[in-house]
Chain A
């Protein structure tokens, strides 16, 4: 009965969606408010029905109803309950349902939050959200229905189980957080389309999307970082970013979204860049759908390709429609959006923001080109030319360093123009200290990008600290406050600005972490009991090799004693070699998996992978890596999240306004 309820809910949601769009269109044409109220109620019902369908699928997954094909494919009796729940987004139809589920929650929030606001924009906003919902409802109703019954003449006693790579707690958090970011950009996009269609080009549009964009950006950033964390903890190649097409798919909207968050400040403060901002948010939304296409179509070979399907052309057609509609819309409203204000000087903060936008978009284009080039080369020449990390690193490292520099330059520039005296006054200390740091790094034997990256990191940190110091000093002089009170009040009175600076500090720490990659060490070796090997100045000794049968896998557990050259113990690592579905009579279905172990300090990570075992001779084969400064990436990411939360926290005046 319950799978039928899920299926019926999805069908009804599609029907209500169409009716709602018709009613809202009638309101837009006739201005009869009754149509709007009915259309809005139907939009609420669409979202509620999608939520019901999702809850039904969750229930089927948790109760292991193998009569449902999706449940039989992605769970088994042995799958732990938490992973039965996460199987919701493990497969194609489930993840598409999860997409609309999040959009439905966002839709409900948008409707209730704005029930007495934006009366002219809301019908259009709802139409756009409903159109996106309808697209995914068509997919889940007619092409890949998660409630499809099992296609077997017998009772399915057990399911196939979840991919072991997905049986990781980070994987329980990473996809939902990433989806929150991906799907969330639908709302700013909907408001942008609505603003363009209703000729709303001022404060209302900025107000309606600023907070949404920031929340969504925060979710996308956190999702990307959690993805990196998962890859580092689970995939066993020792890195967190591989320029994989699916990683790039999340990175591209992040780049344009970040550019948008910067340029919207110019619109809010100077009423400039309106067309550019509209283009950026539309591009970001189109890239999220393109990202979903990359993840779900199977056109790219990727570690993330847990599903392959024929959905590619449909997604591509949807992206093409979005881009065409947006282009026509922008072209249509172009004369109304043009601002009569211009950037007055190259040394102004406005120029800094604009330059930063150009760099972000250039980087996005480089990533986009590198990502789709294999597909284009295959389509045009018949041979798939792989574009790997060397291309992305070669192109993006200099662009990234330029962005890092701008992170420090921007805050030091004044609005309109920076006078020569101020330029010298504010830039001399950060530049001076950065140059001294560069000399020290060069004398320490560092070369190339490492020196540039560390030098720029020093420059940015000094620039930001100088900014804080000047702000505090100004308050101390003006109001006679203590330094601490001045700091607190200054941040509280301008959360978006100082929250932004915290984010920049987080970015600097992440760059320091990225720079550490230049010093990575790696070695593979086999060890018998009490055998020793070394990497750099660290020794590894295999002390024990244990076997253990667990509910959903069999594991060989190694015990590696890690000591320094002086003989002092550093840690004991316990990487495991696991065989999932080990009880399956078909040996092809047994899945080997390496569960790695990492010893992390701020200075370096000692990363151990139990790659294989010669059980007859008790020899275990390991891959050991020493990765310096990786922790800086995670600490930087955490500061980025905290900084964004500071920027997001509403001020008392904003609370009163809402």
Chain B
């Protein structure tokens, strides 16, 4: 009984091992690494910038930001957002 269970275990182990090394026997696999990571980073930055614009709008309304500071920050954020959108479009079109 014990040896039979051991045999099943050994069989299962072999299957698992084969499953894990299977990709090594395939041909070359496309590495999605760089372009997708960059796009991810840009998408993330874009979402942060959208949130930041909303945030400084709210801060200005509350009175936590001077008018000059607010205008300067908003122009910078909008500029950076539009640059990033352009960059995302460029990567997508490639």
Contact of B69 among A35, A416, A426 (CB under 8 A): A416
**Chain A neighbourhood of B47, CB < 8 A:** 653-654, 657
Question: Does A613 sit at the interface, judged by CB under 8 A?
Answer: no
Total CB contacts across the A-B interface at under 8 A: 111
A268 and B37 contacting across the interface, CB-CB below 8 Å: no
B61 and A38 contacting across the interface, CB-CB below 8 Å: no
A471 and B62 contacting across the interface, CB-CB below 8 Å: yes
Task: Tell me the smallest distance from the CB of B37 to a CB of chain A, in Å.
Answer: 5
Given contacts A119-B32, A202-B41, contact A415 B24 (CB under 8 A): no
Nearest CB in chain A to that of B52: its residue: A269
The SS class assigned to the A binding surface is helix
Contact of A119 among B33, B55, B59 (CB under 8 A): B33
The SS class assigned to the B binding surface is helix
Whole-angstrom CA separation of A415 from B50 in the bound complex: 17
Whole-angstrom CA separation of A105 from B69 in the bound complex: 46
Given contacts A118-B40, A204-B44, contact A41 B20 (CB under 8 A): yes
* B residues 16-57 touching A (CB-CB < 8 Å): 16, 19-24, 26, 28-34, 36-37, 40-41, 43-45, 47-48, 50-52, 54-56
Task: Tell me the smallest distance from the CB of A326 to a CB of chain B, in Å.
Answer: 24
Nearest CB in chain A to that of B10: its residue: A8
* B residues 49-83 touching A (CB-CB < 8 Å): 50-52, 54-56, 58-59, 61-66, 69
Given contacts A202-B45, A416-B69, contact A5 B9 (CB under 8 A): yes
Interface residues on B, range: 35 or more
Q: Which of A45, A203, A422 has the most CB of B within 10 A?
A: A203
Nearest CB in chain B to that of A5: its residue: B9
Contact of A415 among B26, B37, B65 (CB under 8 A): B65
Contact with B along A97-121 (1 / 0, CB 8 A): 0000000000000000000111111
Q: List 14 A-B contacts (CB under 8 A).
A: A31-B31, A34-B26, A38-B23, A42-B20, A45-B16, A118-B40, A119-B34, A119-B37, A120-B34, A120-B37, A204-B40, A204-B41, A426-B63, A657-B43
Chain A residues close to B by CB (< 8 Å) = 1, 5, 8, 12, 16, 31-38, 41-42, 45, 116-121, 200, 202-204, 206-207, 268-269, 414-417, 419, 422, 425-426, 470-471, 473-475, 477-478, 490, 493-494, 653-654, 657
Closest 10 CB pairs of A and B: A474-B61, A119-B33, A37-B23, A203-B44, A33-B31, A41-B20, A414-B64, A33-B29, A470-B62, A203-B45
Chain B residues close to A by CB (< 8 Å) = 2, 5, 9, 13, 16, 19-24, 26, 28-34, 36-37, 40-41, 43-45, 47-48, 50-52, 54-56, 58-59, 61-66, 69
